[in-house]
Amino acid sequence: MDAPAKGLLYLDDLAVGDVFVTGEYLLTEAELIEFARRYDPQVFHVDPDRARDSFFGGLAASGWHVASITMRLLVDGGMPIAGGLIGVETSLRWPRPTRPGDVLRVESTIAAIARSRSRPDRGIVTVKSRTLNQAGEAVQTVETKILVFARGAKLSSSGGSPS
């Protein structure tokens, strides 16, 4: 595949089976607790002592925090899609807890590509991503459909449905 301008990828540059790997992100206990206090203040996210007696057996990151870190890693270079990562639909799973000190990375695979018949300047791309900890264990899996524009498309909103 030819390298796209400025490293950005368009619909025409993608193929089923393409794999993208992000950089790494260290999740600290302080950040985990700060996020949870603000957005998901359950004891197993905010209180290390009480978390030991919880279902998780210790402090665990909010799944929404893990999803946010995943998005940041993807935006920071994990999937350089021209026009941005515009989500249309998603399905999330958290198969194991994310802990303070975990080093996260995301591996994403293009699972399907469907060019729009009514708007051939764009398509819907299905991406399967796994957020992995330092041991290579999946702490989050997500299947997302994103809107991706073809090369030469106008990358601004035209209203209505994306497909």
What's the pLDDT tens digit per position in 8-19? 999 999 999 999
Q: Is 60 exceeded by the pLDDT of residue 158?
A: no
Enter the pTM of the model. 0.89
For 93-135, write each residue's pLDDT tens digit. Answer: 999 999 999 999 999 999 999 999 999 999 999 999 999 999 9
Q: Is 154 contained in some domain?
A: no
Go through the chain and tell me how many residues it has.
Answer: 163
Angle made by CA atoms 2, 78, 159, in degrees to the nearest 5: 85
Q: Is 18 contained in some domain?
A: yes
Q: Is 73 contained in some domain?
A: yes
Q: Is 55 contained in some domain?
A: yes
Please report, rounded to a whole number, the percentage of residues in the chain having pLDDT higher than 90.
87
Q: Which CATH number is 111's domain given?
A: 3.10.129.10
The least confident of 18-27, 75-84, 154-163 is: 154-163
When divided into structural domains, the chain yields a total of 1
For residue 35, what pLDDT is reported? 98
For residue 155, what pLDDT is reported? 74
Give the range of the structural domain holding residue 55, as residue numbers without chain letter. Answer: 5-149
Closest CA to 104 of 8, 32, 38: 32
Q: Is 36 contained in some domain?
A: yes
Q: Which 3 state secondary structure label does DSSP give 70?
A: helix
Q: Is 50 exceeded by the pLDDT of residue 5?
A: no
Distance CA 143, CA 77 (A): 18
Q: Is 60 exceeded by the pLDDT of residue 1?
A: no
Q: Is 163 contained in some domain?
A: no
Distance CA 49, CA 58 (A): 8
Q: Is 140 contained in some domain?
A: yes
Q: Is 108 contained in some domain?
A: yes
